[in-house]
Structure 1
Amino acid sequence: MVAGFTTDVLAGKRVIVTGGGTGLGRGVAKHLVDHGAEVHLWGRRPAALEESAGHASAGRARTVFWQSVDVRDADLVDAAVERIWSEHGPVTSILNNAAGNFIAPTETLSARAFQAVTSTVMNGTFHTTLAVGKRWIDQRLSGTVLSTLATWVWSGSAFVVPSAMAKSAVHAMTMSLAVEWARHGIRVNAMAPGPIPTDYAWEVLNPTGKSSVGATQPDAIPMQRVGTVEELAALTIFLLSDLCPYLTGETIAMDGGQRLAGPNTFAGLTDLTAEDWEEIRATATAATAAAKSQRDVGGMSQ
């Protein structure tokens, strides 16, 4: 349980969590269920989703469901939303959490590498938001959109340019739709957490022990520590609940003061040598291979 919230603060909420099979999505989902929400996990790896659903439900009947959905494909997203709507009822909230990222010198990136990140973060977020939002508007329902971003939306960041570009686009979407959809009773906000260690993502974004990698180092944060999933879950619960009905169009930083003190970016990587980059590529390749080995085919399940 997250301190400060009642167990029913999210009662009646039906929440889609994209990128729900691993990382922050997996961690936050359990807390949403603990506080009364019905959660629908989306991702591309059925095995990870099934395990995440089991972790989040903790034996509760019919509170967590999962679908293997590639958010990069608008038609698949729309079909997945329609299936939830018809089998469970209207969605009340979206947590756009699906993302992809890796550090690399920008001049080494291929078009495919660029699209791997931007199509998930930017396109996937838009596809999901539109598929749900148009149904809310057509059926005169209120709703809440919440996206997970990064403080790079204000500063940019070297060596993660596709992610910085894509998340900045979602930041712009957040402000734009907050105005456009407010009259429909739809709130649109985002969170920009600082470093919160999770499997795989941490290996890719913190592949060396060098202290110059400022975006992931506790000694670059005024609070001298990284954040926790529980802290992110507390902010998520607040923003998805009915406790802040007048809050919309905001991206809220939660980073222990890192953005204000700097560095909150990967600018320190300019000090790395060619050998360091070889080590980073090897680590990222191994982590990606391990993740791909878990993929299989699947559909929808409790």
Structure 2
Amino acid sequence: MASSLLRRVSGLKDNFLWICLHKRVISNSTKVFCENNLPQAGFYRPNEGVMLPPGSFKNKVAFITGGGTGLGKGMTGTLSALGAKCVIASRNVEVLKQTAGEISNQTGNEVHAVQCDVRDPASIKACVDELISVAGLPDVVINNAAGNFISPSENLSANAWRTITDIVLNGTAFVTLEVGKRLIKAEKGAAFLAITTIYAESGSGFVVPSASAKAGVEAMCKSLAAEWGRYGMRFNVIQPGPIKTKGAFSRLDPTGMFEKSMIGRIPAGRLGTAGEIANLAAYLCSDYASWVSGAIIRMDGGEYVSMAGEFNDLRKVTKEQWAMLESMIRKTKGS
């Protein structure tokens, strides 16, 4: 019935009728189908328990950039719990050491902290030298280091643009090339994973450097999945929707004013969690996913498709308003 109704609405010649109704819908905030308290979240409770069997990464080495906080910390914790020897890297070595000690105490497995600025090829080379020295060539490489801020594009300077693209696109490329060349020489395979965002696919205003750089990362991963598969390397991407981590939200929603509207457009009715991303990351980097390469997997509670559909805002229409609309359509058809 709803799809039939939508077809009739979209075919109405009397646009004024629809505009008037639409204005009334927007102004009426009671009894809507999808309120911001979103009771449907009860159907989509997060399960952050480790998904894969114990020992899934035993005798494997995982290298995670941006591993000291947020999603990187979550993925490191899960991989370590599954038996991996983890090496985490970022510029802030003190945070890295704290995270490494915390995770190692929890899992009983080694976690090494190595300082690295992914914008600098020389720093990456030194980092990978240390990675190999303390743990060996990696079986898993997760490019998670990122930078972002919100800004009207007309306010961006060349340096602001360069800062984000150097971390996100160039940093991911430099790490991948440095590690990949060494793996090829050693005739060793590995699983590479990049963390991007849903707006790498759609584009987004006010975060244009990030959107552009993340889209470049996705193109690179798809390209290398095709080219370096013969060397035993797999490349996959996760596009997370909004996940409330301290680092990301402090830059992108410092006042908290957008959180409610974010949740309001997610059909699952809640934000994601770092543990959920970590489980997907662990699967994609595991032997269980050995036939998965070149994939870009969106994990966002349905946010992307919710924003994309032209008529999706009709979820705000109440039952009473649907009844009024149907009555108007009957009258229009009869005239």
TM-score normalized by structure 1? 0.83
- Which of 66, 79, 103 is matched with 1:19 structurally? 66
1:183 is aligned to 230
The alpha-carbon deviation at position 209 of structure 1 amounts to: 4.2
Partner SS, residue 262 of structure 1: helix
- Which of 96, 115, 125 is matched with 2:143 structurally? 96
Counterpart residue identity of residue 56, structure 1: I
1:141 is aligned to 188
2:209 is aligned to 162
1:72 is aligned to 119
Q: Is the 8 A contact 1:206 1:213 kept in 2?
A: no
Residue identity over aligned pairs, in percent, reads 40
Q: 1:138 to 1:53 in 2, by over 3 A?
A: same
Q: Is the 8 A contact 1:220 1:263 kept in 2?
A: no
2:290 is aligned to 245
Aligned residue pairs total: 262
Q: Is the 8 A contact 1:21 1:48 kept in 2?
A: yes
Kindly provide the CA deviation profile for residues 144-183 of structure 1, in whole angstroms up to 9, marking residues without a partner as x. 1100000112100100000000000000001100000011
Q: Is the 8 A contact 1:43 1:69 kept in 2?
A: yes
Alignment partner of 1:221 is 2:266? yes
Partner SS, residue 275 of structure 2: helix
Partner SS, residue 249 of structure 2: helix
The alpha-carbon deviation at position 59 of structure 1 amounts to: 5.3
**Aligned 1:102-113 pairs, distance under 5 A:** 102-113=149-160
Aligned equivalents of 1:153, 1:38: Cα separation in 2: 31
- Which of 91, 97, 100 is matched with 1:50 structurally? 97
- Which of 188, 194, 197 is matched with 2:241 structurally? 194
Aligned equivalents of 2:71, 2:275: Cα separation in 1: 10
Structure 1 unpaired stretches of 5+: 265-302
Aligned equivalents of 1:83, 1:203: Cα separation in 2: 32
**Aligned 1:272-283 pairs, distance under 5 A:** none
Aligned equivalents of 2:295, 2:107: Cα separation in 1: 33
Partner SS, residue 144 of structure 1: strand
The alpha-carbon deviation at position 93 of structure 1 amounts to: 1.2
Q: Over aligned residues, Cα RMSD in angstroms?
A: 1.8
The alpha-carbon deviation at position 212 of structure 1 amounts to: 8.8
Kindly provide the CA deviation profile for residues 232-280 of structure 1, in whole angstroms up to 9, marking residues without a partner as x. 011011011100111101111000111111169xxxxxxxxxxxxxxxx
Q: Is the 8 A contact 1:146 1:189 kept in 2?
A: yes
Counterpart residue identity of residue 222, structure 2: M
Counterpart residue identity of residue 233, structure 1: A
Q: 1:26 to 1:263 in 2, by over 3 A?
A: farther
Q: Is the 8 A contact 2:140 2:285 kept in 1?
A: yes
Structure 2 unpaired stretches of 5+: 1-47, 310-335
Partner SS, residue 58 of structure 1: helix
Alignment partner of 1:204 is 2:221? no
Alignment partner of 1:255 is 2:296? no
The alpha-carbon deviation at position 225 of structure 1 amounts to: 0.4
Relative to its length, the structure with more helix (as a share) is 2
Counterpart residue identity of residue 208, structure 2: V
- Which of 130, 139, 159 is matched with 2:177 structurally? 130
Who wins on radius of gyration, i.e. which is larger? 2
Partner SS, residue 223 of structure 1: coil
TM-score normalized by structure 2? 0.75
Further displaced range: 129-138 or 52-61: 52-61
Q: Is the 8 A contact 1:2 1:233 kept in 2?
A: no
Alignment partner of 1:232 is 2:277? yes
Q: 1:205 to 1:142 in 2, by over 3 A?
A: same
Q: Is the 8 A contact 1:14 1:37 kept in 2?
A: yes
Q: Is the 8 A contact 2:85 2:111 kept in 1?
A: yes
Partner SS, residue 131 of structure 2: helix
Counterpart residue identity of residue 265, structure 2: A
The alpha-carbon deviation at position 84 of structure 1 amounts to: 1.9
The alpha-carbon deviation at position 204 of structure 1 amounts to: 1.3
Further displaced range: 103-112 or 51-60: 51-60
Aligned equivalents of 2:155, 2:294: Cα separation in 1: 35
Partner SS, residue 158 of structure 1: coil
Partner SS, residue 248 of structure 1: coil
- Which of 170, 173, 177 is matched with 2:220 structurally? 173
Aligned equivalents of 2:183, 2:211: Cα separation in 1: 30
Q: 1:239 to 1:37 in 2, by over 3 A?
A: same
Q: 1:6 to 1:212 in 2, by over 3 A?
A: closer
The alpha-carbon deviation at position 21 of structure 1 amounts to: 1.6
Q: 1:261 to 1:185 in 2, by over 3 A?
A: same
Partner SS, residue 167 of structure 1: helix
